[in-house]
Amino acid sequence: MNRFSDTLKRAKIAFEKHKVLYLLLLLFFLALLPVLSDKSYVMGVMCRILMYATLAGALNIINGYSGQTCLGVAGFFCFGAYTEAILATRVGMSFWLCVPLAGLVTAAIGLLVAWPTLKMSGIYLAIVTLGFSEIARLFALNATALTGGALGIKNIPVPTLFGITFRNSHSYYYLFLGMAIIFVLISNRVIKSKIGRAWMSIREDELAAKSLGVNASFYKATNFIYGAFWIGAIGAVYAPYVRFIDSTYFTLDEGWNILSMVILGGQGTFIGPIIGSIIVNFLTEVLRPIGQWRLVAFALLIIIMMWYRPQGLAGASDSKLAGNVMKKKKLNQGKQNG
């Protein structure tokens, strides 16, 4: 594990030296990917990677940067997707208006979830958000007049832009890529602002943050609202992509799947959720022949990660999440020196 940590450190140093160049090359490659690959299967996988990278990134804003424990990502995803589907099929609203509106609706719901739970933390907050996720799914299943119930919503209109219709994975890939880029650029600015510093101070020590004048309740609620907005917005992009949604799309398994990406990649890092999305989606395809047993493989992978590298692949070795591992290493070094 020491060699692995050293390799990651060297990779981070090399990336920081030529960060702009590497990012430009990456964007150039991603923009050309649909041209380089004519296989719908490959582009479908890439669409899922980009979508889940944004979902995991938004969840990481809540769990990784403010230290709150949200397990209700599937519920926010559900509300965002259904909002777009209802507005597009029943009101005839344009996709480009539906996406920000779905984000705002989900952000408002995020506030409703966050406000009564501001004094909760840890497992108590996790249970509340987990319950919210299941309530959202049951609401979608039983509000037949609004959501179509078990039959769901069919024939969701596909978006068009300047005469271009986004019908398949090759064209829709650019929508998911655009959303991911916008999310990263805006979130990077927010994290480096006063708001982001307040979130991180609450994560490190809420009492100390309060003593320094940070309004913890306000910033925790703001954090939930921001994360929920992006989860709802990507849900709105997802609905026309599949053109049919029902409550089975938004089960607790979906929430655990997204959470596993954050844990594997590294909480409190920008690159972590992207790495986690790539790993989980890649393993999903590779392990597809073994069916439900792949969930066992995911569970074992997470257990191994939490034991040897709890801060995730992209997390810093001296981060708060790696505290227990670092203590063990220092203790072992002390014994060897003794």
Cβ contact 118:223 at 8 Å? no
Please give the Cα distance from 129 to 168 (Å, whole number).
34
Q: 40-294 has which CATH code?
A: 1.10.3470
- Partners of 62 in the β-ladder: none
CA dihedral 130→313→58→138, nearest 10 degrees, is -30
Would you write out the chain's pLDDT as a tens digit for each of its 338 residues? 556 556 656 666 666 676 777 778 888 888 888 888 778 888 999 999 999 999 999 999 999 898 888 998 999 999 999 999 999 999 989 999 999 999 999 999 999 998 888 887 788 888 999 999 999 999 999 999 999 999 999 999 999 888 888 888 888 999 999 999 999 999 999 999 999 999 999 998 888 999 988 999 999 999 999 999 999 999 999 999 999 999 999 998 899 889 989 988 888 888 889 999 999 898 888 888 877 777 788 788 888 877 877 777 876 555 555 455 444 444 455 445 54
- How far apart, in Å, are the Cα atoms of 187 and each of 74, 86, 89, 127? 21, 28, 31, 27
DSSP states along 175-196? HHHHHHHHHHHHHHHHHTSHHH
Q: Residue written as tokens 């191994």?
A: 304
**What gap in Å lies between CA 312 and CA 280, rounded to an integer?**
13
Rounded Cα gap, residues 194 and 171, in angstroms:
37
The pLDDT tens digits for 287-300 are 888 777 777 887 88
Q: Which residues pair with 165 in a beta bridge?
A: 160
Task: Give the 3-state secondary structure of residue 153.
Answer: strand
**74-111: per-residue pLDDT in tens?**
999 999 999 999 999 999 899 999 999 999 999 999 99
Asked if residue 315 lies in contact with residue 272, where contact means CB atoms within 8 angstroms, the answer is yes
Domain map (residue ranges) of the chain: 40-294
What pTM was estimated for this model as a whole? 0.86
Q: What is the pLDDT of residue 16?
A: 66
Phi-psi region of 247 (alpha: psi -120 to 50; beta: other; left: phi over 0): alpha
Residue 181 class from Cβ within 10 Å (0-12 exposed, 13-18 middle, 19+ buried)?
Answer: middle
Per-residue pLDDT, 159: 92
Whether the Cβ atoms of residue 267 and residue 315 lie closer than 8 Å to each other: yes
Cα distance between residue 127 and residue 135, in whole Å: 12
Q: Which of 31, 9, 72, 44 is nearest to 242 (CA)?
A: 44
3 state SS of 295? helix
